[in-house]
A and B are shown apart, each in its own frame.
Chain A
Amino acid sequence: MLRIEKLVTRYGSIEALHGISLSIGANEMVALIGANGAGKTTLLNSISGTLSTSGRIEFEGKDIQQMKAAHIAKMGVLQVPEGRHVFPGLTVEENLLVGTVASKGMRLKPGNNSEDMEMVFAIFPRLKERRKQLAWSMSGGEQQMLAIGRALMGKPKLLMLDEPSMGLAPIVIEELFEKIVEINKAGVPILMVEQNARLALKVSDRAYILERGIITAEGKSGDLLHDPKVHEAYLGKTVVRVKNKENVGKEDE
């Protein structure tokens, strides 16, 4: 499906990704885990063509490394950006309709999109209740659902989710991830960037661990979940203790 070889991305003179190799198979859910600043979002932006890169990015056998972002999106590689980038001044329905530009191109006639929209509403019934509501007035979880639903309107062949759980309540995250699994089971391969490593490893098939621009570990998510090293670095085995106020002075003495 997607194969990346020796991908290097630079911001000016600073190299952010130092030769990443990664692959995603058909119907696979792949998680990308790493600390802040490891280069996870940079990797997604490199794939979707918003950053200039060197190396090889192959999608369905075609080299897409030099292609423009809009062209890559039209091929079916759709990214849901970090932090719920919905269009606040448009209604839920209009937000979803913007998503069809990727699959159907720009048209002057509205055309018939009811089938695609029903498909999204079947996954996210909450969006159907709010179809006439302006996007800014919805809760964080609903906005994230809308952002994912909008990407689904573009008929993705690869869906890239950037931190879908960011800033959401635990109960909302649970509901959202059930939906993400549902989407994946319906046949959409997913590449997910996630800070919540435990959750990401639980729902994904395989995972890569990214540290300072290099992939340091990869494998089946189940195996990584029990790997002691991963456990220590990302799942919080070692508890960092905060010194309490009274002890601060004493220890120094």
Chain B
Amino acid sequence: MLARKKRNTPVIVITAFLILLIAVVPQFTSTYTVRILSVALINYLCVLSVYVLLGLCGQNSFAQAGFWGIGAYIAGNILTKTFGGSLTAFVAAVCGTAFLAFILGFAFFRLRQYYFTFASIGLMTILNVLFINWVDFSGGALGMKEIPTFQLFGFSADSETSKLYVVFAVCLVATFLILLLFHSSLGRSFMAIRDNEMAADSMGINSLLTKSIAFAISGALCGAAGAMWASVSGYLSYQSFTYNQSTIYLVMIMIGGTGSPIGALIGTAAITILQEGFRSLQDYMQLIYGIGVIILMIFQPEGIWGGGKILYERFRKHREKSKVSAV
């Protein structure tokens, strides 16, 4: 019990810091900065989905932006065609995307390792073509306009700041659920498959079903992010949900570290700051990502968070040693 508390300390500290940040920043900055924060948090949800699939279960997917798009279009359709309110749209986006991922998982995970990755690239391409051409569902090339914002029990998130609070709340709940998953036997089964699929099979873990569940959970996270995006931006374009966006999620988690949701958060923050801070270098962004990832993989394959943890351990050991020698 004590050990678990200790492990969660950084999570609590970071959460507290973020709550403070989210509470203070909108008071002093422009609505533009607030919007950037909302978008970053939505990206974080998608990167969290990559964490579940890649960090926990060891499966690399390039289709996450596609699932993000499906979630967004489901929510957008429900909201603009007034089938239901924000809550219905949110639940439908999450469940619909998760269900689709689960079914596709059963087909795709008959392929192992990088063959699954290839299949996910194919899926991403198909989804993108679908978003352009299925006009009734996505609005086609013109996109989907005038999607109403969140409305729940008389509360309406009209300002950028209130939208940010809604997105932040969803992120908190999602992160908490993923941490629960990490400590559950389902989460351990994911990690068992990641480490050694054959041994996991012989321990009675149905790897096809378990991987499909992991895909469904990551789909649900993307669906939630999509529903958030539909309401925050109010306009959906097929150009957001591309293969490039999927690779950015992967870059984010690689930079942050695949070992923990904190890695997902740090990666998202790092890339967002890069994008916003160096707008003038926009043309060179892909080059910077590429070189950055290569350098990081050579010198710090565990990402920023993993590297930080190793440094902290070293520092702690060094301090203990100097304490002993002082006595």
Interface residues of A (CB under 8 A from B): 48, 50, 68-70, 73-74, 78-81, 85-90, 94, 97-102, 104, 106-111, 132, 147, 150-151, 154
Q: Is the CB of B203 within 8 A of A101?
A: yes
Q: Is the CB of A110 within 8 A of B192?
A: no
- Name the residue of chain A whose CB is nearest to the CB of B187: A108
How far apart sit A78 and B44, CA to CA, in the bound complex (Å)? 40
- Once the chains bind, are A90 and B195 in contact (CB under 8 Å)? yes
Residues of B within 8 A of A102 (CB): 203-204
Contact in complex: B185, A108 (CB < 8 Å)? yes
**Which B residues lie within 8 Å of A150 (CB)?**
203
Partner of A85, one of B186, B191, B199: B199
CA distance A6 to B118 in the complex (A): 41
Q: Name the A residues within 8 Å of B189 (CB-CB).
A: 98, 101, 106
CB<8 Å pairs between A and B, sample of 25 = A48-B202, A69-B202, A70-B201, A70-B204, A70-B206, A70-B209, A73-B202, A78-B202, A85-B199, A85-B202, A87-B192, A87-B195, A87-B196, A87-B200, A89-B191, A94-B188, A97-B185, A98-B192, A98-B205, A100-B185, A102-B203, A104-B185, A107-B184, A108-B180, A108-B185
Distance from B179 Cβ to chain A, minimum over Cβ atoms (Å): 13
Instruction: Please give the distance in Å from A101's CB to the nearest CB on chain B.
Output: 5
> Which of these, B185, B192, B200, B203, contacts A151 with CB under 8 Å?
B203
Bitwise, B172-193 to A at CB < 8 A (1) or not (0) is 0000000010011110110110
Given the complex, which residues of A lie within 8 Å of B206, measured CB to CB? 68-70
Instruction: List the A side residues contacting B200 at CB < 8 Å.
Output: 87, 98
Is there contact, CB below 8 Å, between B204 and A81? no
Determine the residue in chain B with the shortest Cβ distance to A68. Answer: B206
Closest B residue to A98 by beta carbon equals B192
Contact B183 A78 (CB under 8 A): no
Task: Write out the residue numbers on chain A whose beta carbons fall within 8 Å of the beta carbon of B169.
Answer: none
A-B contacts, CB under 8 A, total? 89
How many whole Å from A181's CB to the nearest CB in chain B?
22
A89 to B196: give the CA distance in the assembly, Å: 10
Give the nearest-CB partner of A90 in chain B: B191
Interface of B is mostly: helix
* Smallest CB gap from B206: residue in A: A70
Q: Say if the beta carbon of B36 comes within 8 Å of chain A.
A: no
Q: Which of A70, A81, A111 contacts B199 (CB 8 A)?
A: A81
| Cβ–Cβ contact B185 & A87, under 8 A | no
A157 to B321, CA, bound (A): 49
Complex contacts, A97 vs chain B, CB 8 Å: 185, 188
Chain A residue contacts of B195, Cβ below 8 A:
86-90
Q: Indicate if B194 sits at the interface (CB-CB under 8 A).
A: yes
Residues of chain A with a CB closer than 8 A to B180's CB: 108
A84 to chain B, nearest CB (A): 9
Q: Identify the closest chain B residue to A70 (Cβ).
A: B206
Residue of B nearest to A85 (CB): B199
Query: Do residues A154 and B203 form an inter-chain contact, with CB atoms below 8 A?
Result: yes
How far apart are B209's CB and chain A's nearest CB, in angstroms? 8
Closest CB-CB distance, B182 to chain A, in whole Å?
A: 11
Q: Which of B3, B195, B209 has the most CB of A within 10 A?
A: B195
* A-B interface, 8 closest residue pairs, ranked by CB to CB distance from nearest: A73-B204, A102-B204, A85-B199, A87-B195, A70-B206, A79-B202, A98-B192, A108-B184
Closest to A151 in B: B203
Q: Give min CB distance, A120 to chain B, whole Å.
A: 14
A109 closest partner in B (C-beta): B184
**Closest residue of B by beta carbon distance from A79:** B202
B310 within 8 A of A: no
- The reply to whether B204 and A78 contact each other, CB–CB distance below 8 Å, is yes
Is B188 touching A98 in the complex (CB atoms < 8 A)?
Answer: yes
Given the contacts A81-B198, A88-B195, A74 and B185 also touching, CB distance less than 8 Å = no
The answer to whether A99 and B188 have CB atoms under 8 Å apart is no
A132 to B6, CA, bound (A): 14
List, in ascending order, chain B residues with CB within 8 A of A94's CB.
Answer: 188, 191
A residues less than 8 Å from B209 (CB atoms): 70
On whether the beta carbons of B184 and A110 are closer than 8 Å, the reply is yes
Q: Please, which residues of chain A bring their CB within 8 A of the CB of B184?
A: 107-110
Contact A73 B186 (CB under 8 A): no
A152 to chain B, nearest CB (A): 11
- Considering only CB atoms, which chain B residue lies closest to A110 in the complex? B183
> Do A101 and B185 touch (CB < 8 A)?
yes
Residue of B nearest to A107 (CB): B185
B202 touches A50 (CB 8 A): yes
The smallest C-beta distance from B184 to any residue of chain A, in angstroms, reads 5
Near A by CB (< 8 A), chain B positions 191-238 give 191-192, 194-196, 198-206, 209-210
Q: How far is the CA of A195 from the CA of B74 in the complex (A)?
A: 59
Expressed in whole angstroms, the minimum distance between the Cβ of B206 and any Cβ of chain A is 4
CA distance A234 to B271 in the complex (A): 63
Contact A90 B192 (CB under 8 A): yes
| Known contacts A50-B201, A73-B203, A108-B180: A85-B196 contact under CB 8 Å | yes
Closest to B191 in A: A90
- Structural contact, B194 and A89, CB atoms closer than 8 A: yes
Q: Within 8 Å CB of B198, what residues of A?
A: 81, 85
